Chains A and B, each alone.
Chain A
Amino acid sequence: MSITYLEAIREAQAKLLRDDERVFIYGEDVGGTFGGAFKATKGLAKEFPGRVLNTPISEDAMVGAAIGAAIQGMRPIVEMQFADFSSTALNQILNNAGTHYWRTNVPVPITVRLPCGGTKGSGPFHSQSMESIYAHYPGLIVMTPATVEDAYTMLIEAVTIDDPVVYCEHKYLYYHLKADKLPTEEGLPTGQARILREGRDLTIVAYSAMVHEALAVADELIGEGFEIEVVDLRAVKPLDTETVLASVARTGRLLCVGESFPWGGATAEVISRVTSEGFHFLDAAPQRINAKDTPIPYHPNLWAAHRPNAKMIAEKTRELLRE
């Protein structure tokens, strides 16, 4: 038997609904017999009557309602149909959920699930990765699971955490990533990055789908005699600077890869922290790769060039190794 990243997300929600009566799921098309645009809630409405609820196309109100319910003791999970549409809920997420604990001392335990990232043919409005925007604002935790196991344990953790969590799930990984079984133990806690591959020559820091591109590069470069260390951030906020610094201390070289737009963002944040706190570890100027600074193109030929991939990462890695 094997389980996909998407099934892990569904199973995590089923477990949450089963174990915690405060949990309900709120979103467009999540209920009924449909189970969501990506089927992440398939069958849950039937199994948990009245707790998996379709909403109008009202991202702002969906999150607003989740905030109100959370203040009153519930643990809502809001599914955005695509991460891109969470832009119309930014106000509720950033200004309401993100400020509430600081202002009133009352935490807001909501989880907002964002189906993120590129799949070919999806175009400018169904492909975005928005973790950097959410991480920029105070008051939110931003998870970016890259493995089936993390998708499962981190979603359970997200709902358990008393603060608002933006849970970025990658659409490409939904079907492409499989594990043998669901984890039976708790995962690594949020806030701890994981070294997925050890190496002594260069550190690639990545998160979400880019972790797998980085692993492919690490595999490829073994043949060229290089050992690449791959760090999976798991969450971009809080950012596990310590693990990254320790890795760079060993390798002396840093490449950071993210799928969102290049201006600022998670990769820039990692590099900024490493240069200020670990400048003396560096044998070469740290580098980063992001998507291009244009909207995300529709056509597969253009799309493939817009988004970082193993080929680009490998080239950049070789360049950096030569420095």
Chain B
Amino acid sequence: MLQTAPRRKKSTASKAAPHERFLEAFRWMLLARTLEEKLVSLYRGGLITGGVYVGRGQEAVSVACGLFLQKGDIFAPLIRDQAGRSAFGEPLVDVTRTYLGSRQGPMRGRDGNIHRGRPRDNQLAMISHLGAMVSVTVGALLAKRFHGEKNFVGLSCIGEGGMQTGSFHEGMNLAAVEQVPLVVVATNNHYAYSTPNDREFACHDLVDRAIGYGFEGYTVDGTDLTNCLEVIGSAVKRARAGRPPQLVVASTLRLSGHGEHDDASYVTDEMKRQPFARDCLKAAEQTIVDLNLVDAETLRDWREEAAAQVDQAISTAQKEAAPEADEEDWCAISTRALGDKIE
């Protein structure tokens, strides 16, 4: 069985000493970056069909989303959440199997790239349609309330682009009406595909919407891991303690194309000079060096370990057979007797 990641201490993240938690988060970020860089090179080499969508520049926000969730919590990651998915417990091989089209893994060639999940393990499998997963997260939390469970939260991720859908709005409002323990983390990476903020919304600050929904709202510097851990960790804690639903709006720049097919030539130089354009992974590493949290050798080991894990997950998936059309079970419902018999 493949060890997904370094010494997992998810359930203690909220109690760990700040620098230990910081280092753990950093390692998930490093793993995500390493994995995604590898996926990009496989894509460029023609070994991945479809698209590759990475979370470069958003790992700090994302890891904080996954890190504070515990067993029984619900996580609804989106496009740029590799770091959070791994921190939540998604096996690396789920990623490589899905991208590389193995017949194994959770999606079995039926869906690809970031459209994956393990709903039975509380990792919801996003559909493409942005905004749709917020209400699904609300419903999962409602079920937990019906079951009489206690002390659970759900966390649903969204981009500033997805925040402009009707579906998102409905989901937020419903969360507040139902008073479910939900945290919504919205990352404003200043673009929705090629569209900049000024054609996306006209409000002063997206976090101001929190009050309109009946959420508590917070902002966070998405380039600063310490800040992300603090703000998102506190939001999770508040939701768990029974406070109203929480909205956290993070500011970053997408340090990649929308997908790897996109050269992002529309991102202006001025944008790239903004403070939110800082690379969160480099900044976190700088903090480690500045505070001398670990030595250079340890950092190098971690990097190698991440690379080895990624290589193993890739080679596992590459060795596996692809799905075959004539062996596929072409029935879209589980109640086989009710499948429509159409030629």
Contacts and interface: CB of A to CB of B under 8 A. Distances in A.
Q: Do A and B come from one complex?
A: yes
Interface of A: 22, 24, 55-56, 58, 60-74, 76, 88, 91-92, 95-96, 98-107, 138-141, 161-163, 189-191, 237-239, 241, 273, 276-277
Nearest to B126: A96
A67 B125 contact: no
A107 B332 CA distance: 10
B187 interface: no
A70 to B, nearest CB: 8
A61 B170 contact: yes
B340 interface: yes
B125 A103 contact: yes
A178 B106 CA distance: 48
Contacts of B74: 68
Contacts of A277: 343
A163 B333 contact: yes
B332 A102 contact: yes
21 contacts: A58-B174, A64-B139, A65-B142, A67-B139, A68-B138, A68-B141, A68-B143, A71-B139, A71-B140, A72-B140, A74-B143, A91-B132, A92-B132, A101-B333, A103-B115, A141-B335, A161-B335, A190-B338, A191-B338, A237-B340, A273-B342
Contact of A68 (B107, B108, B139, B177): B139
A119 to B, nearest CB: 28
A66 B333 contact: no
Given A58-B173, A72-B139, A106-B120, 6 more contacts: A64-B139, A68-B137, A71-B119, A72-B140, A104-B106, A238-B340
B166 interface: yes
Nearest to A109: B334
A98 B174 CA distance: 22
Given A107-B334, A276-B343, A72 B143 contact: yes
Given A106-B120, A139-B332, A139-B333, A238 B338 contact: yes
Interface residues of B, number: 50
A286 B36 CA distance: 57
Nearest to B173: A56
Nearest to B120: A106
A56 B177 contact: yes
A72 B120 CA distance: 8
B334 A67 contact: no
Contacts of B140: 68-69, 71-72
A239 B110 CA distance: 25
Given A104-B119, A238-B338, A60 B135 contact: yes
B168 to A, nearest CB: 9
Contacts of A105: 106, 108
Contact of B132 (A60, A98, A141, A190): A60
Contacts of A63: 135
A141 B332 contact: no
Name the residue in B108, B127, B139 with the highest tally of chain A Cβ atoms < 10 Å from its Cβ. Answer: B139
A280 to B, nearest CB: 17
A64 B138 CA distance: 8
Contact of A102 (B110, B120, B171, B178): B110
A273 to B, nearest CB: 8
Contacts of A141: 333, 335, 338
B156 to A, nearest CB: 10
Contacts of B135: 58, 60-65, 68, 92
B117 to A, nearest CB: 6
B193 to A, nearest CB: 19
Interface string B141-168: 1111011000000000000000000110
A73 B125 contact: no
B108 to A, nearest CB: 8
A63 B147 CA distance: 19
A69 B143 contact: yes
B2 interface: no
Contacts of B141: 68
A100 B110 CA distance: 11
A66 B138 CA distance: 9
B338 A74 contact: no
Contacts of A24: 146
Ranked 6 nearest A-B pairs via Cβ: A68-B139, A64-B135, A72-B143, A65-B139, A61-B170, A68-B140
B129 interface: yes
B323 interface: no
A55 B174 contact: yes
B337 interface: yes
A104 B125 contact: yes
